[in-house]
Amino acid sequence: MKLIFMMTDTFRRDHIGAYGNKRIKTPNLDKLASISHVFDRHYTGSFPTGPNRLDMHYSRATEETSINAWTAPAEGLVPLAARLRHKGVHTMMIDETANTIIRCKMTQGFDAWYFVRGQEGDPFWSDDTVPLEFPCPKELIRYTPERWHQILVNRSRRRVEEDWFAPQTYKLGCEWIERNWKRDNFMLWIETFDPHEPWDPPQWYIDMYDPGYKGRVFDAPLGGRYRNMGITDREMRHTHARYCGECSMVDTAVGRVMATLEKVGIDKETAIVFTTDHGGFFGLEGDYGLARKPHYLPADWVLWMEGYDRKKMTHIFPLLPPLLRIPLFIHLPGQSAGKRYQQVTQPVDIAPTVMDLFGVKAPKEFLGQSLLPVVSGKKKSTRPYAFSGASHGVRQATNKDWLYAIFTEGQRRPWLMNLKNYPKRYDDVSRENPEVCRKMRKALAGFDPLVANCRL
């Protein structure tokens, strides 16, 4: 078995043509979807980046909660790569996500790994000739001036598209394939931070969506309600255009990997997985007027860099659908036609599914389950709800009709959203639907010990 696993960060599901978007150009992902098993109800579990990676690589959490936090893996846990390696599968990671490499130690178990440095102000180079300049008020940039200057230094080294991080990462993936295509068993894990901010793709990708723009640029804004920051609707549309450009840039890089598989002649014998960790907000319909990905905010609705105090957050709300629903494609060797699935799936299903591809049995303590029985027709259902959560005590259950959230630190009463009315309405309808709340609370408590032990 040969497997290419393509992992991205902050890639909104509704920005891919295969999921219905008609404006944003993703021809390579659309082509991949046309020959893949496409999961329409794939939801993030542990939010955001680091916790999501723990879900995927370990399919486990702790005894106190089933939602992972921003921590390194617990001692004694065996990651996905190590489980494959023990069965003779060669594993390689090529990654540009610093949080994955440094903070969450996701390289554990891989036979080899390569870190593409430079994202998000990584101090991998110095250059005193690069001036510190701000494209908007510096207090509205999510990075400190020192870190922003490092971002500018890193950008100054770019000349051609493959100098950008995602194209460079996928280029290395293509080179690895050309040197290792004869291996009988391998998993190549290609992970990019893009299309996460800073949203700074080559100008031609920006021009696809907002040519000729001359205003202020917010390519790494603070989190919160953008109008409360003084960002205009026109400026936010340009910010979104920059993000769309990054989506298309990543799509182009994905196409290069698929072309390389075909070039070396292993496209028919290679499995491919494409997914992400969560979406983001761009002031679009259903975004609650938000930018980036906050789920709690202070009184003025802006997460300012200075003076941040988590205990003073006065606005807290669930992980809304733009963050929650994420893409998942699984292409099996020799597959020539796509198929859609409505079963609820989550990142904890990744490790058992990949192991199943290689004939490795998943342990009973995994929170997830292999999706191969679903695509083969042997299993008709997975779980009735998607279970998700994040810091600040938000825990929620979601199905196609309802989103139910509780806040275990007591910040507010439980919230029930009728998804049939979304994105037009966000209002809490828990008081009008007590039986729905009771049923979903019971299911959520059965999944997460923190909820079971929580008194509201």
The answer on 344 and 260 residing in a single domain is yes
The answer on 404 and 283 residing in a single domain is no
Domain that holds residue 451: 393-456
* Helix, strand, coil % over all residues of the chain, rounded to 5: 35, 15, 50
- Residue 5: phi, psi to the nearest 5? -110, 115
Measured CA to CA, the distance from residue 122 to residue 117 in angstroms comes to 7
pLDDT digits (tens, 9 = 90+) for 21-33: 999 999 999 999 9
- Looking at the structure of the chain, the number of domains it has is 2
Contacts of 122 (CB under 8 A, 6+ apart): 98, 150, 154
Q: Which DSSP symbol is given to 222? A: P
pLDDT digits (tens, 9 = 90+) for 74-90: 888 999 999 999 999 99
Q: Give the mean pLDDT of 362-374.
A: 97
Whether the pLDDT of residue 307 is over 70: the answer is: no
The answer on 258 and 146 residing in a single domain is yes
Is residue 113 situated within a structural domain? yes
**Closest alpha carbon to 14 in 338, 272, 324, 234:** 324
Is residue 384 situated within a structural domain? no
At 426, the pLDDT band (50, 70, 90 cuts) reads: confident
The answer on 456 and 353 residing in a single domain is no
**Other CB atoms within 10 A of residue 17 CB:** 18
Instruction: Compute the radius of gyration of the chain from its Cα atoms.
Output: 21
At 456, the pLDDT band (50, 70, 90 cuts) reads: low
CATH number at residue 404: 3.30.1120.10
Whether the pLDDT of residue 101 is over 90: the answer is: no
Whether the pLDDT of residue 310 is over 80: the answer is: no
CATH number at residue 239: 3.40.720.10
Phi-psi sector, 87: left (phi>0), alpha (psi -120 to 50), beta: alpha
Q: What is the pLDDT of residue 100?
A: 84
Whether the pLDDT of residue 440 is over 80: the answer is: yes
Tokens of 320: 């809304």
Measured CA to CA, the distance from residue 167 to residue 173 in angstroms comes to 10
Q: What is the pLDDT of residue 308?
A: 64
The answer on 435 and 297 residing in a single domain is no
Q: What is the pLDDT of residue 148?
A: 97
The answer on 275 and 408 residing in a single domain is no
Is residue 147 situated within a structural domain? yes
Contacts of 375 (CB under 8 A, 6+ apart): 37, 330, 332, 339, 341
The answer on 251 and 188 residing in a single domain is yes
Whether the pLDDT of residue 141 is over 90: the answer is: yes
DSSP class per residue in 69-86: -SSPPPTT---HHHHHHT
The answer on 282 and 349 residing in a single domain is yes
The answer on 216 and 106 residing in a single domain is yes
Is residue 388 situated within a structural domain? no
The answer on 220 and 96 residing in a single domain is yes
Instruction: Name the domain boundary from 344, 378, 412.
Output: 378
At 195, the pLDDT band (50, 70, 90 cuts) reads: very high
Contacts of 330 (CB under 8 A, 6+ apart): 36, 37, 39, 271, 272, 273, 353, 371, 375
Phi-psi sector, 99: left (phi>0), alpha (psi -120 to 50), beta: alpha
Instruction: Name the domain boundary from 323, 355, 378.
Output: 378
B/e letters for 195-214, b = 16+ CB within 10 Å, e = fewer, are: bbbbbbbbeebbebbbeebe
In degrees, rounded to 5, the angle at the alpha carbon of residue 298 between the alpha carbons of residues 296 and 300 is 125
Q: What is the pLDDT of residue 410?
A: 84
Length of the chain: 456
Residue with tokens 């192991």: 355
Is residue 385 situated within a structural domain? no
Is residue 404 situated within a structural domain? yes
Give the type of residue at 292: R
Is residue 112 situated within a structural domain? yes
Residue 71: C-alpha distances to residues 99, 279, 329, 365, 372 (Å) = 10, 21, 28, 20, 30
Q: What is the pLDDT of residue 183?
A: 97
The answer on 131 and 27 residing in a single domain is yes
Percentage of the chain exceeding pLDDT 90: 89
The answer, as to whether pTM is greater than 0.95, is yes
**Closest alpha carbon to 404 in 341, 451, 367, 453:** 451
Instruction: Name the domain boundary from 316, 345, 378.
Output: 378
Give the type of residue at 232: T
B/e letters for 388-427, b = 16+ CB within 10 Å, e = fewer, are: bbbbebbbbbbbeebbbbbbbeeebebbbbbeeeeeeebe
**Other CB atoms within 10 A of residue 54 CB:** 27
| Mean per-residue pLDDT of the chain | 95
Measured CA to CA, the distance from residue 168 to residue 153 in angstroms comes to 17
Contacts of 212 (CB under 8 A, 6+ apart): none
Is residue 257 situated within a structural domain? yes
Q: What is the pLDDT of residue 392?
A: 81
The answer on 143 and 104 residing in a single domain is yes
Task: Tell how strand 296-297 and strand 394-398 pair up.
Answer: unpaired
